[in-house]
Amino acid sequence: MDISMRQLTEIPRAEALSLLAGATLGRIVFTAHALPAVRLVSHIVEEAAIVIRSHYGAAIIRVRPEGDGGPRERAANDIVVAYEADEFDSDAGLGWSVAVTGTAALVRDPGDIARYERMLPAWNKDGGIAGQFVRICPEIVTGYRFACGTG
Amino acid sequence: MDISMRQLTEIPRAEALSLLAGATLGRIVFTAHALPAVRLVSHIVEEAAIVIRSHYGAAIIRVRPEGDGGPRERAANDIVVAYEADEFDSDAGLGWSVAVTGTAALVRDPGDIARYERMLPAWNKDGGIAGQFVRICPEIVTGYRFACGTG
């Protein structure tokens, strides 16, 4: 058990997004059945947006059919989610974590979907549901580096 | 960029909690200023409860002072949070992720606090706020192993 002290240093937004872009796994935070939920997913960063592939795509976005035939997709663009990625080098005792809060929407453009299918691995479960792509536009970006000292 | 397929296999609850107990870092999911938030923290597992140490302890639990002098601590025991830990061996292409949803409460017993101060490292920020301890009782436990193949 590591009981050493850990020192935190904040990371500027641009550097935090750059670290996120260099990682391949992260955790999407959403609401499922009115409860907080979190799932490990793979991601890419493209033009400052985070794109994930998830079986939970529909649950994350929670598109509610409008009784009056209203705009489904507009509602789907208003969902606020959080996303987190981190890396920790236990040998060096150094790591970083970046947490993002932003709005999420299902990717619906066929060209985008085809491109992301080549870029993001599918996570197959129970015979291969490939999942949906969700694009997250970061608004609040919080990053820090941490170091484990001996203090 | 790894574009291989990934196979998911569900992990039974007891095994998932055992994997969680063997990890030292995880991500606490909570609501801050009415927005979803996620932060990397350190944890221990004790008698099937997850105990974390965080600067965000008060924000996670969100104890609201009752105008009528009502029971603060009871309100603090009703907060639902999510918690996630994972490990990925990129050489072997194998990993696991465990996500928990449960109720969280600030640890208030002085004996427990003293014990956890010895067991859980402090994350010092801006000169050393040691943070609060939060105990999470897991209710929903979801775990899976994933393997990266060549399919």
- Shortest distance, CA B4 to any CA of chain A (angstroms): 6
Q: What is the pLDDT of residues A37-63, one digit of tens each?
A: 999 998 999 988 999 988 776 677 764
User: Which residues from chain A sit within 8 angstroms of residue B5, using beta carbons?
Assistant: 121-122, 124
B106-143, pLDDT tens digit by residue? Answer: 899 999 999 998 898 777 655 455 678 999 999 999 99
Greater model confidence, A66 or A113: A113
- Sorted by sequence, the CB contacts under 8 Å of residue A144 that are 6+ apart come out as A8, A9, A10, A11, A96, A97, B125
Q: Which residues of A touch B (CB under 8 A)?
A: 1-8, 24-25, 27, 29-31, 35-40, 42, 44, 80-84, 86, 88, 97, 99, 101, 118-125, 140, 144, 146, 148
Q: B3 and A118 in contact (C-beta within 8 Å)?
A: yes
Indicate the pLDDT class of residue A72, thresholds 50, 70 and 90. very low
A11 alpha carbon, distance to own chain's centre: 18
Specify the amino acid at residue B79. Answer: I
**Backbone dihedral region for residue A19 (phi beyond 0: left; psi -120 to 50: alpha; all else: beta):** alpha
* pLDDT of the residue at A76: 54
Does the distance separating the beta carbons of B125 and A99 come in below 8 Å?
no
Q: How confident is the model at residue A1 (pLDDT cuts 50, 70, 90)?
A: very low
The pLDDT tens digits of the residues spanning B70-112 come to: 444 444 567 899 999 999 887 888 899 999 999 999 899 999 9
- Contact list in A for residue B97 (CB cut-off 8 A) is 39-40
Task: Give pTM, 2 decimals.
Answer: 0.84
Lowest-confidence segment of A98-112, B16-30, B48-62 by average pLDDT: B48-62
Does the ipTM exceed 0.95? no
Distance CA B10, CA B145 (A): 6
Contact between residue A16 and residue A145 where contact means Cβ atoms under 8 Å apart: no
